Amino acid sequence: CGDAVVWKPSEKTPLTALACEAIFNRAVKRFGADAPEGLLQVLIGDRAVGEVLVDHPKVPLVSATGSTRMGREVGPRLAKRFARAVLELGGNNAGIVCPSADLDMALRAIAFGAMGTAGQRCTTLRRLFVHESVYDALLPRLKKAYESVSVGNPLETSALVGPLIDKAAFDNMQKAL
């Protein structure tokens, strides 16, 4: 059935983590007796909880998503005890629109990539490279998409952008503007 997982999600998203845990537990029941209890354990907590996992000698692999600062702190600690690491750090994702691009598809991908989840995920589109041959056709459509983006309650299917997660996210957005 694979290796057991101990997951310490962001302290900002505990309910999402618990919902994922419930989905996992429901799915794993399909394996019956072949799947032992407790394959997934969710640890809700702050940075200190994560540090215990990073330093624990019985945790052979740590996968972490976060800032490059976090990676600079975690990486050497894992290396010191020869633990394996999968670190996804400081996302700065780009989109490329080539001359042969389907501009309708590109527009949808750009809009969701840049604005979906209010730009708060590590894979948010932050840079866009557009070939000069399609630039003039794409730019007005892109402006229109940004002007018409639906902001609102994320439980409503019509809303593409919901609220920022906390004041720190709001402050960072204000600095970016």
Q: Calculate the CA dihedral of residues 39, 41, 42, 46 and round it to 10 degrees.
A: -130
Segment 54-61 shows an average pLDDT of 96
- Alpha helices, DSSP H, located in the chain: 14-28, 47-55, 68-80, 103-115, 132-147, 167-176
Segment 142-163 shows an average pLDDT of 89
Q: What is the pLDDT of residue 1?
A: 54
Amino acid at 46: D
Same domain, 69 and 102: no
Same domain, 167 and 148: yes
Question: What does pTM read for this prediction?
Answer: 0.73
Question: Which residues are identified as catalytic?
Answer: 88, 122
Segment 90-94 shows an average pLDDT of 86
The domain containing residue 143 runs over which residues?
93-176
- Give the CATH number for residue 120: 3.40.309.10
